[in-house]
Amino acid sequence: MKKQIILAVVLALMFTLAASGEKSTNPPGTDAISGSPLIGTWYCMEEGFHGNAKYFWSFGKDGRFAYLFSGYEPPQGGGSIESSVRERFMQGMFRENGGTIECYDIVADDHFSWGDNWKYFPDRYPTLLANMLLDTPLIESENADDFLVDFEFTGDMILRLIIDRGDFPDQYDMEFEYIG
């Protein structure tokens, strides 16, 4: 109950700022970031016949974020086609501006491999990763473009992110559960 009240107060303050026309830049390390309802790690999983995909967002009190896409496809065709793995790991800075998350100063590393050769997180357990994403350095990285993500809370500890994931309109919005 206490978390719900704090969340409601923070959201009310955010909407008041947005309605007043003031921009909230929330520089890293300020109370606006450390008190954000986004702080923590959020998780979503999609499963299908050809494998699964896990998505993680971690937002730190210091204004840093980490994002991980982790996909696994098991062997196909009676084992004639090997399994494969894909990871996209990003880290950078974030700030809230109304109902938008502004992500900037981003570095990213993409990895694809046949077999079960994970680069970062072979153990893909959500509760294990919740405390690791912000503290794991990227092995190789390239600068990535800044981007915006619209967000809202749709339930108790459920974060809805509106992310354009490409040509599939049914994969535009995703809901993430809070894991720590």
Domains of the chain by residue range: 2-178
The model carries a pTM of: 0.75
| pLDDT (tens place) for every residue of the chain, 180 residues total | 333 333 333 333 333 333 333 333 444 444 456 678 899 999 999 888 778 899 999 999 999 999 999 999 988 877 678 889 999 999 999 999 989 999 999 999 999 999 888 999 888 778 888 889 999 999 999 999 998 889 999 888 999 988 765 555 445 578 999 998
Pairing of strands 147-155, 142-144: unpaired
Residues 6 or more apart whose CB falls under 8 angstroms from that of 132 comprise 121
Q: How far is CA 115 from the centre of its chain?
A: 25
- Strands 100-114 and 142-144 come out as antiparallel
Q: Based on the number of CB atoms within 10 Å of its own CB, is 118 exposed (0-12), middle (13-18) or buried (19 or more)?
A: middle
Question: H or E element: which one contains 148?
Answer: strand 147-155
